Amino acid sequence: MAAVIAAGLVPAVGPSKVDAYPIDCAILLCLSGGWPGSVECTAARAEFVRRITPWPIEPPLQIWRCPMRASFGSQSPADRIWSIAATALPAQIEMPEGRLARDLAVNIAGSPAADVDIADPAFDVVRSIKVYDIDWYAFAGTTSNGERDVCHRQKARTRLGSYDQQGDFSWAGFSITAAPAWLDTNLHPDWPCMAAGRYRGVGVEWTDSFGTHGFEVVRY
């Protein structure tokens, strides 16, 4: 899939092309291919980031909105890639030479969950997406007798959004001390607080089909 994106994109002929395909098909393809610098992929990345920008905070990739309803039972993996790519980025993709072992057959069920067999490693890019929603404010304080032994937490929201094996997105809690370094929270231990300071922001990370890690952070 990455080769399809990286090698096959050419500049769009006009802005109307951006509105001519389901944006989530483009997000899937462009994210996997390392966000090539086409009009379509620029628009896809902008939508990807907009969705994590409060409020509300949405799943950045909504694979159930990529309307691949056709049956792919008789098609090879390379043909399946071609079907999705042609839908997402019409007239921008050239069929690559060789056969790419990517299973990207997406068959939408009509509910807010992906009816997709994404067990194939081709879909590892979906499972690599993580969304961090943090609203944290903690500081060391004193008790009534003046002892500095209280950690005041005025804000303590820490949520981690991720995709399961079948592409469904869900939230779970996580420890503020597990926040990745690229979020640049600048929180620090200040006894008795394990993480003192103020941070409010949303971050998303992913790993594309080339194995390259990427991230975006929205502070608000």
- Domain assignment of residue 125, yes or no: no
Distance CA 121, CA 134 (A): 30
Answer whether 206's CB lies under 8 Å from 213's CB: yes
- Tell me, what amino acid is at 64? W
- Domain assignment of residue 76, yes or no: yes
**pLDDT tens string 24-72:** 888 888 888 788 877 878 899 999 999 999 989 999 999 878 765 434 4
- Give me the pLDDT at residue 37, please: 79
> Are 105 and 9 in the same domain?
yes
> Are 111 and 134 in the same domain?
no
> Are 8 and 80 in the same domain?
yes
How many domains would you assign to the chain? 2
> Are 137 and 114 in the same domain?
no
By residue range, what is the domain housing residue 62? 2-119
| Residue 210 confidence class, pLDDT cut points 50, 70, 90 | confident
Average pLDDT value for residue range 3-12? 32
Length reported for the chain: 220
Phi, psi of 62 (to 5 degrees): -115, 80
| Residue 185 confidence class, pLDDT cut points 50, 70, 90 | very high
User: Which of 79, 94, 119 delimits the end of a domain?
Assistant: 119
> Are 111 and 202 in the same domain?
no
> Are 27 and 105 in the same domain?
yes
- Name the one residue in this structure whose structure tokens are 């057959």: 105
> Are 48 and 101 in the same domain?
yes
Q: Which of 220, 170, 218 is nearest to 46 (CA)?
A: 218
- pTM of the prediction? 0.72
- Domain assignment of residue 124, yes or no: no
- Domain assignment of residue 67, yes or no: yes
Give the least confident one: 1-10, 55-64, 168-177.
Answer: 1-10
> Are 114 and 180 in the same domain?
no
> Are 91 and 154 in the same domain?
no
Q: Which residue has the higher pLDDT, 112 or 151?
A: 151
> Are 90 and 24 in the same domain?
yes
**pLDDT tens string 76-86:** 444 544 555 55
Distance CA 186, CA 116 (A): 39
> Are 138 and 110 in the same domain?
no
User: Which of 119, 151, 178 delimits the end of a domain?
Assistant: 119
Residue 205 neighbours by CB under 8 Å, 6+ apart:
128, 129, 130, 132, 180, 182, 213, 214, 215
**Per-chain mean pLDDT for the chain:** 74
Answer whether 200's CB lies under 8 Å from 136's CB: yes
Report which secondary-structure segment, H or E, holds 5.
Answer: helix 2-8
User: Which of 54, 89, 119 delimits the end of a domain?
Assistant: 119
- Domain assignment of residue 110, yes or no: yes
Secondary structure of residue 11 in the 3-state scheme: coil
> Are 96 and 32 in the same domain?
yes
